[in-house]
Structure 1
Amino acid sequence: MLGQNTLNDTTWDVLISGTGLPQSLLALALSRSGKKVLHIDKNDYYGGSEAAFSLQEAEHWVNKVGCEPNFGPFESASVWRSPSTEKKENGKLSFSRAYTLSLSPQLIYTRSKLLPSLVSSKVYRQLEFQAMGNWWVYRDEAQVETGSQEHAIRGLQCVPSSREDVFADDTLTMKSKRSLMKFLRYLGQSDESGSSSTEEGDFDTPFSTFLRSKFQVHSDLYYPLLCLCLSPHSISQTTAGYALPKIKRHLQSIGVFGPGFSSVVTKWGGASEIAQVACRACAVGGGVYALNRGIRSVGPPAQGSPDGDSSLRRVCLSDGETVCTRYIVGTPWDIPADTQKAELPTLTKVSRSVMIVSSPLEALFPPIAENDPVAAGTLVIFPGQQAAGEDAIDEPPLYLLLHSSDTGECPFGQCIIYASVLQPSSKGHPRIDSAVQQLLKSTDPVAEVLWKMQFTQLGHLGTDILPKDGLAGVDSQILVFPSPCLDLEFNDSMIDQVRHVWKDIMGADADENEFLVFENREAAEEENMSAS
């Protein structure tokens, strides 16, 4: 980290603005390239739209969202504290830094491109990943058949995600089990052949229609299967073409790192922790970091650069200092609007909430497999109401991602709920509040929400088609990462975007086989010493 007033008239190969995950992964990719990298952030914290906060930091962030225009891809942020937190000895909020609350608590599938990249770049040793446990669908208690406690917890239906789960679930009828097995066999056969035997036209049909017509799947199983593909849309608005690859990904990810789970979460704050580890690696490789500094303006290529190189861009920073650089990289919120190719496209909005709960809700975190530790995360889906009328659109599902204290995000005896729904704040946040109250009533009636942060996040969905030149600025020296992906799971397209920008910067020196592939630093240093 640099002190104040030390950057003026310096020259760099790459200026990265913002420490969000894509910029930080790019910094990691450039960390051993020999490039001079200056990595700045207008904020006083790392992580950008993937940041993680203590209670005090979160409340400060809410104020900034409300007061600063173009602060980031967020709006309508607010914080609420329960009055009971000051009155009760038990169930009180702990001190501010006892919490690490993530703006990006995405789960990561074990077959994601991200994990091999973290391993090959050697930063995985500084990270800890924890297994996601059972996935649940909320039903009215009358809708959940009586069965074992493992599969029915007062209105919650455990989602079977493997053949073993289907056979073990005594809440399913034999007819439902047969239809599910038929569907799972179909997915397995399409994997073996490398393609699907289903006609292409079927993929445009609603997923519910596909399940009913092809496999006679009962409607009670639509939302458990929708949960496995993490669709932000209702079952009637989700196509078979969207759902099938996502469900196959879920099934193929089970057992990669251990029995019974398909995805993991990052301990100590989700994607923010990955971003900080990546930045640390770049700093070790010679990158220079400066927080509380953004970009005020970017000038055209000029002869006035310190070393006379006319290809350099003169950049004025927010503190008045000036630097020169060959490349400028950031998101639409980290670089000036006049450096971007066009105005931002219409962005999708998702209502989100982060809640601290006074109970660990242990019933939702059973051991993943026999003799295994309990899971650190679990997922609950609340189906939306079906709309009346031929042209009406069903409500989208609402997702609650729960993290236990094992994630390091809250004290022992509490848990964190990350809620999201593809609706505007006026509809989404009341639905979230209602869903959380229903969940607490089902699992621990004396539990309560101690603290809550609500906001709307702007971005794109994984299904959105981004422009082919979406990473280009007004010229080849300015590269712009797209708005955040709003999916519940990490979207592998981010790795592809980082690779694209890395190749543009490296030019003729780019070798695809060397992207985020590094030797251990100790081995590399010994080799250099031997050569000398």
Structure 2
Amino acid sequence: MKETSRPSKKPNTLFFSVSATVEGGFHFLVLKEISLKSEEEESMAEDFSFPSIDPINFDLAVVGTGLPESIIAASSSSIGKTVLHLDPNSFYGGHFSSFSLHEFTSFLQSQQQQPNEEEVKDSNSSLDTNYTEIELKSQCLYSDIEITSNASSEDLEPSRKFCLDLSGPRVLFCADSVVNLMLKSGANHHVEFKSIDASFIYSEDGNLFTVPDSRSAIFKDRSLGLLEKNQLMRFFKLVQAHFGLNESTLDQEKKRISDEDLESPFIEFLTKQMLPAKIKAIILYAIAMIDYDQESPEQCKNLVKTKDGVEKLALYHSSVGRFTNALGALLYPIYGQGELPQAFCRTAAVKGALYVLRMPVRSLLFDKESRHYKGLKLASGQAVFSDQLVMGPSFIVPSPPVLSPHTDLQQEISQGSILRDINGQVARAVCITRGSIKSNISNMLVVFPPRSLLPEQVTAVRVLQLGSNLSVCPTNLFLLYVSALCDDATQGKKSLHAAINALLKCSMSKNRETSSLFPNESEVVTPTLLWSAMYIQQLTKVLEDPISSCPMPDGNLGYTNILESTEKLFQKIYPGEEFMPEAKAPENVDEQES
């Protein structure tokens, strides 16, 4: 994960794979590039005609270019499957996209409007009567949207200088499975990263303390007493010994945590280690990144077991120091999280996947006799066929009873098409500020443990601050991403507002107890909130039958759970196939370079 210079990103660039040629044994994709730089040009671009897709038969069709869909497309292409990847949008990424300020505002505002049922002229209406067409619909997964601006339009110009993540806050751990997948597939060649400079935890007395997440950080931390440092160091050594880090096999067996302890609640194991409340909060919420209040089992929706907790700690510790140019455990992609799905789309395109943006799917095609899925009817009127179908999380898919042979297919689907099952919700906020929370620190993570802000706050609140050195905002401005799992919009937004207000107050007061890692961080700084957007995002479940449907961005800081769900979905589609085979290095590299 090297950090190198990169030319400025073109605004609103679309790529359509329109043809492929083979020359000298090498497979070349011919890409048509359209750059939309203004609203006038955007309106002009609306007059384009839908491209005709050739061939029309594929092993896999994927609708939506979110991260899970893009990974499945890349993995399928890597095992030799023919893939058609469509997106009704004019941008890559779906719910994992990064937008300019204008695009971000437009997207959220569009979620508050009823979709227009526009009639699309059918340029190729002939269809075999053996198929039944089922209209494909979508559901809105965003609600309670509030956009507030305290700045003039000049303060936030140019809009295209912003890359706002729809699913923030989100980072990658240096040692997690997504980074390994990118290295294995070669997707890392299409995206660059910088490390998050520091992590802080909020205390109930209103101060921010540096998270002591390594031996050197513990040694330098001035907010911990000598006893607390020894307790934390001893616990970290216990976790490292359990996983055999720097230990022989014999020593590892002797120092493993017992099976009984591994199955017990993590909070009970921490208490058993005689750790004080302050140390437990650091371990639970700022390193293991646990969401729900573990101190209140009766109200906790996810009481974490010790085996899961120590695995999270091991991931964090393995991430620290993995890359020499990463300051800590966390990475963030330059130009925003939307670069990740694009990286996997490029990986799939190199393997021969065909990409078409701004191509809505009008309906699904089912065989009248077998009642199985067969293909898609596109907005252009063209029918394309595939053995398998994967769709993004917003689409409403036919319910399982569709395949019943005892009722009329068209009638049953019109009655049986179901909304995606909602599995909770997450409150998100994006803020633009002038000035950093901590002086001399651009990119940082702040964790508010449960009940540190409000008595009724049952989940942790996470805030990720990013600066212009990540090419996500203009110079002297900063982005704040805030999120918290919640049961309802009122509860979630209350926690977000409390966190934002606390940060602004924190930054205006001197903190003499913070770590000496950043000697100037106690200087008085006064960030100004210029703009904010707050919204509630639904968390949908993955659907596997009868048609595969991918997950929404979850409430976690990282991508581990999303990748696990994606891999499981891939194995369901192609049982026994290797998930993302390792990319082979180009042949005769030395000759080409010479």
For the 8 Å contact 2:95–2:166, the answer to whether it is kept is: yes
Query: 2:532 — aligned with what?
Result: 452
- 1:221 and 2:279 equivalent? yes
The DSSP-based 3-state class of the residue aligned with 1:422 is strand
For the 8 Å contact 2:464–2:482, the answer to whether it is kept is: yes
- 1:230 and 2:289 equivalent? yes
- 1:413 and 2:476 equivalent? yes
1:328 corresponds to which of 365, 370, 389: 389
Q: How does 1:73-84 map to 2 (within 5 A)?
A: 73-82=141-150, 84=151
Separation in 1, partners of 2:379, 2:545:
20
- 1:197 and 2:257 equivalent? yes
Query: 1:518 — aligned with what?
Result: 583
- 1:383 and 2:449 equivalent? yes
Separation in 2, partners of 1:171, 1:312:
61
Query: 2:211 — aligned with what?
Result: 159
CA pair 349-471 structure 1, distance change in 2 beyond 3 A: closer
Aligned-pair Cα RMSD in Å = 3.2
> Deviations 1:193-224 (Å, cap 9, x if unpaired)?
378424525643361x4323x22222222322
Separation in 2, partners of 1:191, 1:38:
42
- Unaligned ranges ≥5, structure 1: 144-154, 305-309, 366-375, 461-465, 528-532
Q: Which amino acid aligns with 1:138?
A: Y
Query: 1:344 — aligned with what?
Result: 420
Query: 1:488 — aligned with what?
Result: 557
Q: Which amino acid aligns with 2:292?
A: H
Separation in 1, partners of 2:505, 2:401:
49
1:262 corresponds to which of 322, 329, 333: 329
Separation in 1, partners of 2:216, 2:91:
45
Separation in 2, partners of 1:515, 1:140:
45
TM-score, structure 2 as length reference: 0.72
Separation in 2, partners of 1:301, 1:160:
60
For the 8 Å contact 2:50–2:359, the answer to whether it is kept is: no
Q: Which amino acid aligns with 1:230?
A: M
For the 8 Å contact 1:387–1:395, the answer to whether it is kept is: no
How many residues are matched?
Answer: 473
CA pair 324-453 structure 1, distance change in 2 beyond 3 A: same
1:250 Cα shift?
0.8
For the 8 Å contact 2:435–2:478, the answer to whether it is kept is: yes
Separation in 1, partners of 2:440, 2:401:
46
Separation in 1, partners of 2:112, 2:202:
34
For the 8 Å contact 1:73–1:457, the answer to whether it is kept is: yes
Percent identity (aligned):
22
Deviates more, 1:334-343 or 1:403-412: 334-343
Q: How does 1:80-119 map to 2 (within 5 A)?
A: 80-82=148-150, 84-85=151-152, 92-105=155-168, 106-119=170-183
> Deviations 1:286-319 (Å, cap 9, x if unpaired)?
3222223333322223699xxxxx9871322244
Separation in 2, partners of 1:415, 1:94:
13
Deviates more, 1:162-171 or 1:5-14: 5-14
Separation in 2, partners of 1:244, 1:34:
38
Separation in 2, partners of 1:339, 1:273:
35
The DSSP-based 3-state class of the residue aligned with 2:243 is helix
Q: How does 1:33-432 map to 2 (within 5 A)?
A: 33-68=79-114, 70-82=138-150, 84-85=151-152, 92-105=155-168, 106-141=170-205, 155-192=207-244, 193=252, 196-200=256-260, 203-205=263-265, 207=267, 209-212=268-271, 214-226=272-284, 227-236=286-295, 237=300, 238-241=303-306, 242-258=308-324, 260-270=327-337, 272-301=338-367, 313-334=374-395, 336-338=397-399, 344-363=420-439, 365=441, 377-385=443-451, 395-423=458-486, 424-432=488-496
TM-score, structure 1 as length reference: 0.80
Separation in 2, partners of 1:506, 1:216:
48
The DSSP-based 3-state class of the residue aligned with 2:537 is strand
1:100 Cα shift?
0.3
The DSSP-based 3-state class of the residue aligned with 1:420 is strand
Query: 1:148 — aligned with what?
Result: none
